[in-house]
Amino acid sequence: MTQPAPASPMFWRLNDDVYRLVAMKCGDCGHITYPRGKICPQCGSWNVGDFKLSKMGTVHTFCVNWTPPPNLEPPIVNVIVDLDGGGRYQGLITECADPDKIKIGTRVEMVLRKAMTDRGLNIYGFKFRLAEEA
């Protein structure tokens, strides 16, 4: 049995949750949820609306993986980032040769990068890089 082809890039580009970073904010308790849902997981309220996540934030926690799965070069740095304005996002660090530069509280920015190639189609996703200090 053959696997179906990956979803078309157009499908993903039109998905607000993925590339436009639209989350959900509760109108009652203020909890921010990504990806969006129909009710607030914090308080159970149906009073929810769209909320645009920031692409800037600080590292909440991280893990350096020195033994990643095949076809990935170590080290792989996984981070959970507290985004400016609210919300959290999990991703990988990119464009950083020295994992010792990543610490809790490090400023990072979200960037769109190629994640993999699946049956000839490039799959893109968000990763984090160290933020330029002004």
For residues 48 and 88, membership in a common domain is answered with no
Q: How many domains, in total, are found in the chain? A: 2
For residues 131 and 77, membership in a common domain is answered with yes
Structural domain boundaries enclosing 114:
54-134
Digit-by-digit pLDDT tens for the chain (134 residues) are 566 555 666 665 666 566 688 999 999 999 999 888 999 999 999 999 999 999 999 999 999 999 988 877 889 999 999 999 999 999 999 998 899 999 999 999 999 888 877 777 777 888 999 997 64
Q: What are phi and psi of 17, to 5 degrees?
A: -60, -40
Is the pTM higher than 0.75? Answer: yes
Exposure on the CB side of residue 52, measured as CA atoms within 13 A = 3
pLDDT of res. 12: 58
For residues 10 and 68, membership in a common domain is answered with no
For residues 68 and 134, membership in a common domain is answered with yes
C-beta atoms surrounding 83 within 10 Å: 21
pLDDT of res. 69: 84
Domain CATH for 42: 2.20.28
pLDDT of res. 134: 47
**C-alpha pair distances (Å), 16 with each of 24, 97, 125:** 11, 32, 13
CA distance 83 to 110: 10
CA distance 115 to 11: 17
